[in-house]
Amino acid sequence: MTLAVRYTAARTLDTAPAETRLPGPGEVELAPAYVGICGTDLHIFHGDMDARVSAPAVLGHEMSGRVVRVGVDVEGWSPGDAVTVMPLRWDDTCPACLKGHQHICQHLDFIGIDSPGAMQQRWIVPASTLIRLPGTLPLDRAALVEPTAVAVHDVGRAAVREGEKTVVVGGGPVGILIALVARAQGADVRVVELSAHRRLLAEELGLTAWDPAAVDVPALVGQWTGEAGADVAFEVSGAAGGVDTAVEVLGVRGRLCLVAIHPRPREVNLHRFFWRELTLVGARLYDRCDFEKAVALVADGTIPAERLISKVVPLTEAPSAFEALEGGGDVMKILVDCTTDTHNSDDARGASV
């Protein structure tokens, strides 16, 4: 019997036997090893996405694992291959797809939200979604490839260039990843984050982090930039105050990249956009090139994935992990180990399969 973590109603998860079948044509069966819990999963857990998610729903899209078996007509993949999944399935016929933007297909199936996800011991996915992992990359670290691909896409959307003054508002997992990817691109980066725990981690990773409750962030940006303002700001906090800060710190013709999900409309200082000729860009998801670059960044240590993993829990303890993440500040990334039902989570850090 294989198990799956399922969302059944707001703030309710269970662990139940998973539906099993053989992979069909063009499909592969995977054994997920580690699955990360992300902000979108928390939105689902809170019941905020019930209009989109059909319960009972298997969650999870940040994953690593191995191929178990392949369906007919699948070439290039064999049992035992280490993989992650780009969890997008598009129709190739909508206006977005026809313009080459398949990753934001107007009828997109985001696997793990719109269809069953990875938080189970066996998982059937299209072979076209597989991304190969280096055999030397531990699978717990590889579970952070998907959020790293988000960061790679965000930095690309903002067109960050070497030497640019860049402010990341929100120092959670994606915010830290954006800061690290931007730094690798040659940017000079500052992180704005309320949580002392997250600021400390940012500093340990060689980033400068500011507490917006204790300092005047726009004034500090002015000192840092010679009153020119930042070239780029990323809004990753999801808070109204974060939007205000991201707009306020930008200099003339600065670029604001909106990363966080804002479930309700926000007031925005449009006069600032007019006065300084600012640019706002949205950033959603990723494409295959973003994923492949993310694999390289995690594999070569540019992204110190192991430092972002706060805890690893067995599949049966996933519901309690969601509750732990609600506290926010003292936790970065929790991984669910799908390979066993129970284990000592402290011993799991750094393990590979």
Structure tokens at 225: 């930039």
Contact partners, residue 117, CB within 8 Å, separation at least 6: 35, 57, 58, 59, 60, 61, 87, 111, 123
Burial readout 135-162 (b: 16 or more C-beta within 10 A, e: otherwise): eebbbbbbbbbbbbbbbbbbbbbbebee
Choice among 2, 20, 43, 340 that is catalytic: 43
Rounded distance between C-alpha atoms, residue 35 and residue 173, angstroms: 14
Q: Which residue is it, tokens 């300092």?
A: 215
Choice among 2, 40, 208, 279 that is catalytic: 40
Structure tokens at 94: 């909508």
Question: How many other C-beta atoms can be found within 10 angstroms of the C-beta atom of residue 54?
Answer: 10
Structure tokens at 254: 């600065």
Rounded distance between C-alpha atoms, residue 266 and residue 244, angstroms: 10
Closest CA to 294 of 161, 111, 151, 176: 151
Q: What angle do CA 53, 59, 61 make, to 5 degrees?
A: 110
Q: Are 221 and 214 in contact (CB under 8 A)?
A: no
Quote the strand ranges of 175-284, DSSP E. 188-192, 208-210, 230-235, 250-258, 279-282
Structure tokens at 98: 């026809």
SS3 at position 333: strand
Is there a catalytic annotation at residue 40?
yes
SS3 at position 341: coil
DSSP assigned state of 120? B
Active site positions, annotated:
40, 43
